[in-house]
């Protein structure tokens, strides 16, 4: 997605988790942050997670499934609240399983 809305006729929406955070929170997208993962920042585990309030433009039932690629990098800490916001089933894909992703 390159805009801050989901096309009403779309069957599939593809986005970075950072862009979804931007859309849900109403903050401008930080293009540099969109390229980073939690492993790119040594202090990421110390950063406080920003909660997401209900956004009527994105109802919690917007998706049936959310597929997260590289889930071992993206579903913890700063971006978890994006996935917790929706009531969809989450499918995590990783080629680097760890105790946290099982």
Per-residue pLDDT reduced to its tens digit, 11-53:
999 988 888 888 898 888 766 666 655 555 555 555 677 788 9
Evaluated on CA atoms 54, 29, 97, 99, the torsion sign reads negative
Three-class SS of residue 27? coil
Residues in the chain: 102
Q: How confident is the model at residue 67 (pLDDT cuts 50, 70, 90)?
A: very high
Q: How confident is the model at residue 93 (pLDDT cuts 50, 70, 90)?
A: confident
Q: How far, in Å, CA of 79 to CA of 19, rounded?
A: 10
């Amino acid at each position: 997605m390159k805009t801050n809305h989901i096309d009403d006729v779309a069957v599939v929406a593809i986005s970075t988790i950072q862009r979804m955070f931007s859309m849900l929170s109403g903050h401008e997208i930080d293009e540099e942050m969109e390229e980073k993962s939690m492993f790119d920042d040594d202090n990421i585990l110390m950063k406080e997670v920003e909660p997401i309030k209900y956004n009527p433009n994105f109802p919690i039932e917007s998706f049936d499934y959310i597929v997260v690629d590289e889930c071992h990098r993206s579903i913890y800490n700063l971006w978890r609240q994006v996935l917790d916001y929706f009531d969809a089933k989450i499918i995590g894909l990783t080629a680097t399983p760890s105790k946290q992703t099982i």
